């Protein structure tokens, strides 16, 4: 469970034993789940999976990963692909900026490196779309370099093992974890330790006070387990509360078609499609008046639905009115159900009303 801790002005470095790295890598080789992106060490596939797995569950990513590879099997097809098709492939996965960065980075790798990933940590880090975690993962898994990949899962595992209560939201703690791990990387098969840490965090050393220490291959080396403090770790800095907003969404139907429009070029869900919507919570008559002002000749209001969608920093409370219209005004795009399914990337916040 998250709790705030006292800040140590000069905390000591974290120390991990080489036995910890060896035990974890060996455990990974025996126990790794069979995941689609683990079937080879192709940097394109590893990179794609790491980007998809940010903020998204493994089970949800599997189908997206396979589908993405059928449309963009290599970095050249990703770099050359159209934006609309890319957004459609990403639809429902959320955090759409990831997909745009993916394509921008693919274009750079094609133009600067002939489509081959740089094989050093520095070369990978020089690409604007590849951060320290992803670079460490690609370098160790694909190129066998001793480069840790530290994300929230790894921070949790290591702070429990070393039994330290500094906030894992503090960048200095991340540096200490990277340094401690960097000191114990094996000379061969570096990727097994990187993936062992990921795997332990995902399947055994679980968050929210739920470590399964009785199943853990490094319990004998874990100070948090031995001192009985693991469940209270890691310590997190309290987050700011999410901003709450109300929106009115319009599901305007004209014949068999539904009105959609493109979102602005910047900001939340930029350049994706959306159902027409307004800020605030309109009453039914106000919604009909708004539809009339859009020149869609509303005939009747068929029903209303209320749903909530949670983003990282914002919560949308949405009231959706389904309105039958007599005119398909050109201010909107009017798509039939087949086109909505196949051609328009509509984020979950709106698609859930269809």
What residues act catalytically?
Answer: 50
Q: Which is nearer to ligand SF4, 205 or 349 (CB)?
A: 205
Residue (204 or 320) nearer to ligand SF4, CB: 204
- Here the tokens at position 204 are 């055994």
How far apart, in whole angstroms, are the C-alpha atoms of residue 77 and residue 100? 14
- Residues at the contact surface with ligand SF4, assessed by CB under 6 A: 157, 160-161, 204-205, 211-213, 216, 218-219, 222, 224-225, 230
Measured from the CB atom, the residue of 161 and 181 that comes closer to ligand SF4 is 161
Question: What are the distances in angstroms from CA 250 to CA 86, 295, 319?
Answer: 26, 14, 9
CB of 188 to ligand SF4, least distance (A): 24
The distance of closest approach from Cβ of residue 204 to ligand SF4 in the complex, given in angstroms and rounded to an integer, is 5
Q: Cis (ω within 30 of 0) for the bond into 234?
A: yes
C-alpha distances in angstroms, 51 versus 64, 129, 211? 12, 10, 25
Tokens of 174: 């991340």
The least distance separating ligand SF4 from the CB of residue 298, rounded to whole angstroms, comes to 58
Beta-bridge mates of residue 211: 205
Kindly state the tokens that stand for 34: 């069979």
| Nearest distance, CB of residue 197 and ligand SF4, angstroms | 10
CB of 53 to ligand SF4, least distance (A): 20
Query: Measured from the CB atom, is 159 or 258 closer to ligand SF4?
Result: 159
Residue 337 CA to residue 340 CA, distance in Å, equals 5
CA-to-CA distance for 15 and 158, rounded, in angstroms? 10
Is residue 93 within a helix (H) or strand (E), and if so which, with residue range?
none
Rounded alpha-carbon distances, angstroms, from residue 83 to 79, 97, 262: 10, 12, 13
List the structure tokens of 133. 């975690």
Angle between helices 152-161 and 190-203 (to 10 degrees): 90
Instruction: Pick the closer one to ligand SF4 by CB: 68 or 225.
Output: 225
Q: Classify strands 243-254 and 314-325 as parallel, antiparallel or unpaired.
A: parallel
Minimum distance of ligand SF4 from residue 174's CB (angstroms): 18
> By C-beta, is 11 or 232 nearer to ligand SF4?
232
Spatial separation of the C-alpha atoms in residues 66 and 4, rounded to whole Å = 41
């Amino acid at each position: 469970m998250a709790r705030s801790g006292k800040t140590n002005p000069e905390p000591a470095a974290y120390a991990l034993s080489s036995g910890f790295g060896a035990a974890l890598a060996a455990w990974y080789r025996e126990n790794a789940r069979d995941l689609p992106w683990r079937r080879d060490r192709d940097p394109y596939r590893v990179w794609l999976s790491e980007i998809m797995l940010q903020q998204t569950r493994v089970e949800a990513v599997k189908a997206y990963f396979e589908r993405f590879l059928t449309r963009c099997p290599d970095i050249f097809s990703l770099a050359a692909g159209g934006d609309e098709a890319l957004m459609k492939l990403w639809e429902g996965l959320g955090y759409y900026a990831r997909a745009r960065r993916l394509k921008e980075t693919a274009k750079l790798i094609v133009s600067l490196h002939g489509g081959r990933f740089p094989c050093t940590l520095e070369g990978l880090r020089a690409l604007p779309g590849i951060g320290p975690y992803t670079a460490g993962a690609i370098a160790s898994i694909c190129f066998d370099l001793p480069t840790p990949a530290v994300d929230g899962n790894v921070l949790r595992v290591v702070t429990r093992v070393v039994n330290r209560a500094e906030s894992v939201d503090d960048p200095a703690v991340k540096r200490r974890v990277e340094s401690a791990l960097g000191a114990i990387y094996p000379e061969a098969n570096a990727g097994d330790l990187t993936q062992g840490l990921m795997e332990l965090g995902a399947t055994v050393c679980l968050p929210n006070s739920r470590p399964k220490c009785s199943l853990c291959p490094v319990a004998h080396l874990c100070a948090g387990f031995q001192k009985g403090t693991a469940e209270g770790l890691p310590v997190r800095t309290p987050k700011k509360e999410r901003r709450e907003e109300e929106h009115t969404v319009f599901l305007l139907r004209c014949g068999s078609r539904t009105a959609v429009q493109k979102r602005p070029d910047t900001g939340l869900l930029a350049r994706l499609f959306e159902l027409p919507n307004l800020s605030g919570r309109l009453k039914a008559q106000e919604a009909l008046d708004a539809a009339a002002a859009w020149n869609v000749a509303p005939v009747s209001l068929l029903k209303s639905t209320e749903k909530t969608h949670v983003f990282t920093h914002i919560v949308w409370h949405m009231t959706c009115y389904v309105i039958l219209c007599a005119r398909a005004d050109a201010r909107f795009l009017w798509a039939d159900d087949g086109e909505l399914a196949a051609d328009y990337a509509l984020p979950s916040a709106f698609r859930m009303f269809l």
